[in-house]
C-alpha cells in the first residue's frame, strides 16, 4: 500500500481526496435525513356507533303495523276491481240491444225506396215514345242539310289540303335550308377551332423555342459576364476564405453599370469594396444583341464567394 | 398528352423568366490576386519650394509597390496630372484601369515649414476616400511621404502600414588595405537614410531590436570571441552583456522587453538561456547535448521557438518561456532553422532547405503547411515587418549578399539596392 | 587547370595553415611567396635536416594546422588523425604553449546555427588533442561560424576550404 502511494503519489492523493469527499458526502447527507425520520406515520381513525335496544323494538312494531295496513289496502283494492267488472258487463249488454234496434229501422227504409223507383220507371217509358216520333221527322231534314253541307265541306277541305301541302313544302324547304346553314356553320366553326388550335400549338412551340433560345442566351451571357467580373476582381490579400458578399448591379442597355449596391455585406469593408470595384470595373458587361433580351439583364445580383 | 407537357414546360419557362427579370443571379468564385492599381500624381507646388530634393509621389509609389499590394501607374502613362480635386477627370483614370488616385500639393509656409496635402480617391465611385494635410520640415519630407504611404496603405488594405519603420542590417566591406570592415547600419524601411551604429574590423552579427525600437543588441567578435552588446540608438552608448566561455550569441528580446533569450555554450553544447534584464541573471532554458540556438519569442511572450539538431538534423522546436519539455514544430524537409514568429503569432518564417537550396519559407502553425517564399540558393535571416505584410531577408545576387523583400503571401519579391559591400541579416524594427 | 591542381595539392598538405594566415588580417609575411615557390623546392622537403621551428617543418605533420570537414559533419576524417596526434603530443610536451582551436563553417545554413556547428567541430578537435595529453587550459575553442571564410567563392571548392578548424599557435 505504501509502495503504491510512493509509486503513484498523484493518483494516491487523488484517490484519498476522492474518498474523503465521499465520506464527507455521506455524513452530510445523513445529518440531513434525520429530522425526516422523526415524523410519526398517520394513525387510521375508527368511528364507533352505540346501538339502543328500545329503538330496535319500536322499529319492529313499526314494521308490523305497516304490514297490517298493507293487507287491508290490498283487500279494498280487490273489491273495487270486482265492482268495476260488473258495471262493465252491464254496459256491454245495453250496447247490443241498441244495435239490434237500429238494424230493424234500416230494413224498413230500403222497402220504401224500392216502391218509389218502380213508379218513376213507368212514367219514363211514356215520355220516351213521344220523343222518338218527333225525332224521326227532324232526322230526315237533318240528313238533307247534312248532305249539302258535306259537299261544301269537301270543297273547302280540298282547298285547305292544297294550301297545307304548299305550306308544308315551304316549311320543309326552309328547314332544309336552315339545316344546311347550320351544318355549314358547325363545319366552319370546327375548322376555325381546328385552325386556332393548330395556330396555338405552333405559337406554343415557337414561344417554347424562344424561351429556350432566351434561356440559352441568358446562360451563355451569364457566363461571359461572370468571366468579365472575375477578371476584374482583385481579391484583397489575406484570409478571405469564408467571406461572401452580394451586390445588386443595375445596367442600362449596352451593358453599362449605372449602380452598384451591396445588399449583403461580408462584414469586411475591404472585401466589400473589392467586390463593388470589380463590378464597376467590369462595366460595360457583355449583353446579347437582341434588345428584347435586355429585361433578363436589367438587374443582376452578384454573389461573391471566393474559392466557391 | 403532348400538349400538357408543353403547357407545363411553358409555365416553367415563364416562371423562370419571371424570376430572371427580377434579378439574374451570378456567382463569382474566382478573382485575380494581383496588386491594386493606384495612380500617384506627382505632387505639385504652386510656388517654388527651394531646398527640397525629395520626390514625395515617387517615394509613396515605391513604398506601396514594395509592399506587393499595389501597382503604381508610371507617370509617363498619365493623361493629365491634376493636383486639386476640381481638376480630376475620373474617366481618364478609369480608362487607364486605375482603382485609386492620389493627388497632392506641397506649399511652403511663412516660417519655412512645408505643408504636404494629399487626397485619395476611389476612381470608379468618383469619391474621395481620404484627405490630409501634414506639416513637415524640408529635411523630413521623406518621412512625411512614408507617413502618407502608411495612411493610404491602411485605408486601402485595413492593415497598419509599416513604411515609417526602420531596419537594421550588417554590412561587410573590404577597405583599400584589404582589411575587412563590418558595420551595423540602421535605415528607413526603404533603405534610405542609412546610419552606421557600430563599425568593427572583426565580424558583427545578429542585430536584434528591443521591443520599443530604442535599442539594438548584436553579437561582436571585436575581442576575438563572441560577446553580446546592447546599444541605445539615440545616444550610441552601449553595454556589454556578461560574456561566457564559448558562444555568446543569438540575442532575442522578449516582447515586454524585460528579458532576452540568447545562446550560450558555457555548459557544454549550445543551449538557450534567458537573461533577465532587470536582475541581470541568466536562466538556462534547454538542456540538450545537441545544438540549441536561434531563439525567438512568441508575440505573447509565453513560448520560445529555437533551432535544434537534437533529432539529427536542424529543426524548429518550441518550449514554454518558463521552461519544460520542448516540442518539435517542423517536420517538412531536413533543414529548418532560424525561425521567428509572425506578428499575429499564426505563422513562423524560417530558412528551409529544399533540393540543396536554402529558401525563406513560412509555416502555418495551425496546419503545419509550409510555403516557400523566396527563390534564391542561399536565402537567409528572414524578418517580418511589424504588420506582418512583408518579410525582409538576405539573398545572393551575382555572388554578393544583398537584401530582398517578399510579401508574406510570396507574390511580390523585390531586391533592395543598398550602398556598400555585402549586406545581410536584416532585422525589421517594431512600430515606432 | 594546373594551377588549380597545384593549389589544391598544396592546400591539402602543408600550405593550408598558411593560406589561412595569408588571409586578410594575420598575414604572416613571406611564407606566402615562399610557399608559391614551394613546388621548385620540394626536393628539399626532407625534414631530417630541417633547422627551423618544428611547427614549421613542412615534413612534419605539425605543419598542418587546418583540419577540413565534410558537409554538415563535425567528424575528423582519418587523414587528420596523425596531424592531431602530433599537435596533441606537442602541446603535452610544451605545457607552456596554449592554442586557439578556431571552428569555421561554410556559408550554407543559418549564421547562428553555423556558429554552433563550427564550435562542435572545434570541440571534436579539442577532444582529440586532449587524448594526446594536451591539458584543457592549453586549448581554447572559438567558434567563428561562417563569418570568416578562407575562400570567397560560392561553390563546393570554396565551401570545402571554409569547413575547417584552425589550430592557432601564438606568434613565434
Domain harbouring B132, CATH code? 3.40.50.10070
Q: Render pLDDT for A59-77 as a digit per residue (tens, 0 to 9).
A: 777 777 887 888 888 888 8
Mean pLDDT of A216-220: 88
CB spacing of B23 vs A299 below 8 angstroms: yes
How many separate domains does chain B show?
2
State whether B176 and B237 are in the same domain: yes
Mean pLDDT score, A114-136:
76
Specify the CATH number for the domain of residue A178. 3.30.1150.10
CATH of the domain at B194: 2.120.10.30
Torsion angle of the four alpha carbons A36, A38, A44, A45, in this order, in degrees rounded to the nearest 10: -120
From the CA of A291, how many Å to the nearest CA of chain B? 14
- Of B100, B126, B92, the residue nearest A260 (C-alpha): B126
Domain extent for A218: 145-308
What pLDDT was estimated at residue A36?
Answer: 41
Lowest mean pLDDT among B52-61, B122-131, C38-47, C154-163: C38-47
Task: Output the pLDDT for position A48.
Answer: 47
Report the C-alpha gap between B209 and B427 in whole angstroms. 7
Instruction: Output the nine-digit C-alpha cell for A164.
Output: 297545307
User: How buried is residue B42: exposed, middle or buried, by Cβ count under 10 Å (0-12/13-18/19+)?
Assistant: middle
**Residue B397: enclosing H or E segment and its boundaries?**
strand B390-397
- Strand arrangement, sheet containing B281-284: B248-253, B259-264, B271-276, B281-284
Q: How far B291 CA lies from chain C's nearest CA (Å)?
A: 6
Residue of chain B with shortest Cα separation from A220:
B26
Average pLDDT over residues A193-211: 89
Question: Can you tell me the distance from the alpha carbon of A23 to that of A12, in angstroms, rounded to the nearest whole number?
Answer: 16
Nearest-angstrom CA–CA distance, C102 and C119:
8
CB atoms within 10 A of CB A165: 10
- Interface ipTM > 0.90: no
Note whether A278 contacts B: Cβ–Cβ < 8 A: yes
Residue that finishes a domain, picked among B101, B125, B157: B157
Closest CA to C66 of C154, C150, C156, C142: C150
Distance of CA B346 to the CA centre of its chain: 16
More confident residue, B291 or B109: B291
Euclidean distance between CA atoms C78 and C82, whole angstroms: 8
Residues B200, B336 share a domain? yes
**Domains of chain C by residue range:** 53-168
Has residue B12 been placed in a domain?
A: no
Closest CA to B170 of B379, B418, B430, B3: B418
Which residues share a beta bridge with B306?
B317
Residue A215 within a domain: yes
Look at A170-179, A243-252, B46-55, C51-60 and tell me which has the smallest mean pLDDT. Answer: B46-55
Number of separate domains in chain A: 1
Does B229 share its domain with B327?
yes
Residue B414 structural domain = 166-428
Q: What is the mean pLDDT of chain B?
A: 90
Domain boundary, last residue among B136, B157, B178: B157
Instruction: Answer whether residue A68 is part of any domain.
Output: no
| Same domain membership, residue B233 and residue B139 | no
Residue B330: band (very low, low, confident or very high) from pLDDT cuts 50, 70, 90: very high
Q: Kindly report, residue by residue over B234-268, the tens digit of the pLDDT.
A: 999 999 999 999 999 999 999 999 999 999 999 99
Determine the pLDDT at residue A65: 82
* In contact, B392 and B415? CB cutoff 8 Å: no
Round to whole Å and give the CA distance between B98 and B91: 10
The answer on pLDDT for C1 being more than 80 is no
Average pLDDT score over residue span B287-312:
97
The SS3 of residue C99 is strand
CB pairs under 8 A between B and C: 85
* Torsion angle, alpha carbons of A209, A212, A214, A216, to 10: -140
Residue C21 has pLDDT above 70, yes or no: no
Q: Does residue B9 fall inside a structural domain?
A: no
Work out the average pLDDT over B75-99. 93
Which of B180, B201, B250 is nearest residue C112 as measured by Cβ atoms?
A: B250
pLDDT at C100: 96
**pLDDT of amino acid B3:** 54
> What pLDDT sits at residue B341?
98
Do B153 and B186 fall within a single domain? no
- The backbone torsions φ and ψ at residue B46, rounded to the nearest 5 degrees and listed phi first, read -75, -15
Residues B243 and B312 reside in one and the same domain: yes
Contacts of A274 in chain B (CB under 8 A): 31
Helix/strand/coil percent split, chain A, to 5 = 75, 10, 15
Looking up cell 213521344 gives: A130
Fold of the domain spanning C53-168:
60s Ribosomal Protein L30; Chain: A; (3.30.1330)
Residue A300 and residue B405: Cα distance in Å, rounded? 42
Mutate to test the interface with A, among B15, B20, B28 (most CBs of A within 10 A): B28
- Identify whether residues B209 and B332 lie together within a single domain: yes
- For C53-78, what is the mean pLDDT? 91
* pLDDT at residue B47, as a whole number: 58
Non-local CB neighbours of B178 within 8 Å, separated by 6+ positions: C24
Residues B236 and B376 in one domain: yes
Q: What is the pLDDT of residues B106-131, one digit of tens each?
A: 988 888 889 999 999 999 989 999 99
Q: Write out the three cell numbers for A25.
A: 458526502
Which of C22-41 are b and which e, b meaning 16 or more Cβ less than 10 Å from the residue's Cβ?
A: bbeeeeeeebeeebeebeee
Whether B118 is in a domain gets the answer yes
Q: Is the per-residue pLDDT at A302 higher than 50?
A: yes
Model confidence pLDDT, tens digit, residues C30-53: 333 333 333 333 334 445 677 788
- Kindly state whether residue B21 falls inside one of the protein's structural domains: no
**Banded model confidence at residue A1, pLDDT cuts 50, 70, 90:** low
Other C-beta atoms lying within 10 Å of the C-beta of residue B114: 21
Tens-place pLDDT, residues A8-46: 666 666 666 666 665 555 554 444 444 444 444 444 444
By percentage, how much of chain C surpasses pLDDT 70?
72
pLDDT digits (tens, 9 = 90+) for A99-115: 778 777 787 777 777 77
Q: Best-predicted range by mean pLDDT among A175-189, A279-293, B339-353, B387-401?
A: B339-353
Residue B372 has pLDDT above 60, yes or no: yes
Give residue A139's pLDDT band: very low, low, confident or very high (50, 70, 90): confident
Query: Is residue A88 in a domain?
Result: no
Amino acid at each position: 500500500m505504501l509502495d503504491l502511494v510512493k509509486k503513484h503519489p498523484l493518483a494516491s492523493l487523488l484517490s484519498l481526496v476522492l474518498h474523503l469527499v465521499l465520506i464527507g458526502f455521506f455524513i452530510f447527507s445523513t445529518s440531513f435525513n434525520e429530522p425526516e425520520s422523526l415524523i410519526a406515520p398517520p394513525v387510521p381513525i375508527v368511528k364507533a356507533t352505540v346501538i339502543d335496544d328500545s329503538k330496535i323494538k319500536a322499529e319492529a312494531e313499526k314494521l308490523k303495523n305497516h304490514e297490517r295496513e298493507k293487507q287491508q289496502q290490498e283487500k279494498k283494492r280487490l273489491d273495487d276491481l270486482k265492482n268495476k267488472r260488473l258495471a262493465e258487463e252491464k254496459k256491454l249488454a245495453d250496447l247490443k240491444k241498441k244495435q239490434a234496434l237500429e238494424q230493424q229501422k234500416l230494413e224498413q227504409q230500403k222497402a220504401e225506396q224500392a216502391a218509389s223507383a218502380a213508379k218513376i220507371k213507368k212514367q219514363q217509358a211514356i215520355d220516351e215514345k213521344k220523343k222518338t216520333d218527333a225525332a224521326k221527322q227532324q232526322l230526315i231534314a237533318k240528313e238533307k242539310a247534312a248532305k249539302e253541307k258535306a259537299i261544301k265541306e269537301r270543297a273547302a277541305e280540298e282547298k285547305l289540303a292544297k294550301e297545307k301541302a304548299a305550306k308544308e313544302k315551304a316549311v320543309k324547304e326552309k328547314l332544309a335550308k336552315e339545316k344546311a346553314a347550320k351544318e355549314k356553320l358547325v363545319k366552319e366553326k370546327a375548322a376555325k377551332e381546328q385552325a386556332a388550335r393548330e395556330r396555338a400549338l405552333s405559337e406554343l412551340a415557337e414561344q417554347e423555342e424562344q424561351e429556350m433560345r432566351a434561356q440559352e442566351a441568358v446562360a451563355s451571357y451569364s457566363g461571359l459576364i461572370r468571366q468579365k467580373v472575375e477578371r476584374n476582381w482583385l481579391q484583397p490579400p489575406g484570409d478571405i476564405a469564408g467571406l461572401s458578399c452580394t451586390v445588386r448591379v443595375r445596367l442600362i442597355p449596352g451593358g453599362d453599370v449605372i449602380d452598384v449596391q451591396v445588399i449583403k455585406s461580408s462584414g469586411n469593408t475591404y472585401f466589400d469594396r473589392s467586390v463593388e470595384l470589380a463590378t464597376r470595373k467590369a462595366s460595360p458587361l457583355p449583353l446579347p444583341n437582341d434588345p428584347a433580351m435586355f429585361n433578363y439583364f436589367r438587374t443582376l445580383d452578384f454573389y461573391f464567394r471566393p474559392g466557391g | 398528352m403532348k400538349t400538357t407537357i408543353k403547357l407545363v414546360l411553358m409555365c416553367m419557362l415563364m416562371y423562370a423568366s419571371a424570376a430572371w427579370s427580377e434579378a439574374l443571379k451570378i456567382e463569382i468564385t474566382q478573382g485575380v490576386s494581383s496588386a491594386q492599381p493606384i495612380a500617384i500624381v506627382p505632387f505639385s507646388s504652386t510656388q517654388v519650394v527651394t531646398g527640397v530634393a525629395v520626390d514625395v509621389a515617387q517615394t509613396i509609389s515605391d513604398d506601396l509597390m514594395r509592399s506587393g499590394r499595389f501597382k503604381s501607374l508610371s507617370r509617363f502613362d498619365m493623361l493629365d496630372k491634376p493636383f486639386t480635386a476640381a481638376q480630376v477627370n475620373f474617366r481618364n483614370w478609369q480608362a487607364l484601369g486605375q482603382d485609386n488616385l492620389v493627388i497632392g500639393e506641397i506649399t511652403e509656409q511663412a516660417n519655412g515649414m512645408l505643408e504636404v496635402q494629399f487626397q485619395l480617391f476611389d476612381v470608379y465611385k468618383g469619391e474621395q476616400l481620404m484627405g490630409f494635410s501634414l506639416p513637415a520640415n524640408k529635411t523630413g519630407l521623406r518621412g512625411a511621404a512614408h507617413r502618407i504611404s502608411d495612411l493610404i496603405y491602411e485605408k486601402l488594405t485595413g492593415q497598419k502600414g509599416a513604411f515609417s519603420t526602420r531596419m537594421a542590417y550588417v554590412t561587410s566591406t573590404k577597405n583599400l588595405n584589404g582589411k575587412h570592415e563590418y558595420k551595423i547600419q540602421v535605415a528607413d524601411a526603404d533603405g534610405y537614410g542609412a546610419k552606421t551604429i557600430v563599425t568593427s574590423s572583426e565580424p558583427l552579427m545578429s542585430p536584434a531590436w528591443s521591443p520599443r525600437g530604442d535599442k539594438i543588441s548584436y553579437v561582436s567578435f571585436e575581442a576575438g570571441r563572441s560577446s553580446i552588446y546592447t546599444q541605445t540608438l539615440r545616444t550610441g552608448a552601449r553595454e556589454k552583456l556578461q560574456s561566457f566561455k564559448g558562444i555568446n550569441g543569438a540575442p532575442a528580446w522578449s516582447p515586454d522587453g524585460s528579458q532576452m533569450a540568447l545562446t550560450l555554450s558555457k555548459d557544454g553544447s549550445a543551449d538557450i538561456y534567458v537573461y533577465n534584464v532587470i536582475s541581470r541573471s541568466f536562466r538556462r532554458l534547454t538542456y540538450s547535448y545537441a545544438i540549441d540556438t536561434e531563439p525567438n519569442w512568441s508575440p505573447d511572450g509565453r513560448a520560445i521557438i529555437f533551432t535544434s539538431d537534437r533529432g539529427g538534423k536542424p529543426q524548429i522546436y518550441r518550449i514554454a518561456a518558463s521552461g519544460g519539455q520542448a516540442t518539435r514544430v517542423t517536420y517538412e524537409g531536413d533543414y529548418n532553422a532560424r525561425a521567428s514568429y509572425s506578428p499575429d503569432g499564426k505563422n513562423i518564417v524560417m530558412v528551409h532547405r529544399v533540393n540543396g537550396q536554402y529558401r525563406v519559407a513560412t509555416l502555418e502553425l495551425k496546419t503545419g503547411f509550409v510555403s516557400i517564399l523566396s527563390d534564391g540558393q542561399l536565402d537567409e535571416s528572414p524578418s517580418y515587418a511589424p504588420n506582418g505584410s512583408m518579410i525582409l531577408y538576405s539573398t545572393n545576387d551575382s555572388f554578393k549578399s544583398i537584401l530582398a523583400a517578399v510579401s508574406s503571401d510570396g507574390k511580390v519579391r523585390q531586391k533592395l539596392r543598398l550602398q556598400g559591400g555585402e549586406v545581410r541579416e536584416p532585422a525589421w524594427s517594431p512600430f515606432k | 587547370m594546373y594551377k588549380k591542381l597545384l593549389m589544391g595539392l598544396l592546400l591539402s598538405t602543408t600550405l593550408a595553415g598558411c593560406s589561412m594566415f595569408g588571409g586578410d588580417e594575420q598575414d604572416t609575411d613571406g611564407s606566402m611567396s615562399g610557399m608559391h615557390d614551394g613546388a621548385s623546392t620540394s626536393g628539399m622537403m626532407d625534414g631530417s635536416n630541417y633547422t627551423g621551428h618544428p611547427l614549421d617543418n613542412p615534413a612534419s605533420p605539425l605543419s598542418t594546422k587546418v583540419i577540413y570537414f565534410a558537409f554538415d559533419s563535425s567528424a575528423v576524417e582519418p587523414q587528420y588523425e596523425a596531424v592531431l596526434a602530433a599537435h596533441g603530443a606537442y602541446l603535452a610536451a610544451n605545457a607552456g604553449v596554449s592554442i586557439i582551436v578556431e571552428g569555421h563553417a561554410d556559408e550554407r545554413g543559418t549564421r547562428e546555427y553555423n556558429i554552433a556547428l563550427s564550435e562542435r567541430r572545434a570541440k571534436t578537435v579539442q577532444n582529440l588533442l586532449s587524448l594526446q595529453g594536451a591539458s584543457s587550459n592549453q586549448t581554447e575553442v572559438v567558434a567563428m561560424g561562417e563569418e570568416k571564410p578562407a575562400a570567397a567563392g560560392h561553390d563546393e571548392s570554396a565551401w570545402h576550404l571554409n569547413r575547417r578548424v584552425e589550430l592557432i599557435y601564438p606568434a613565434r
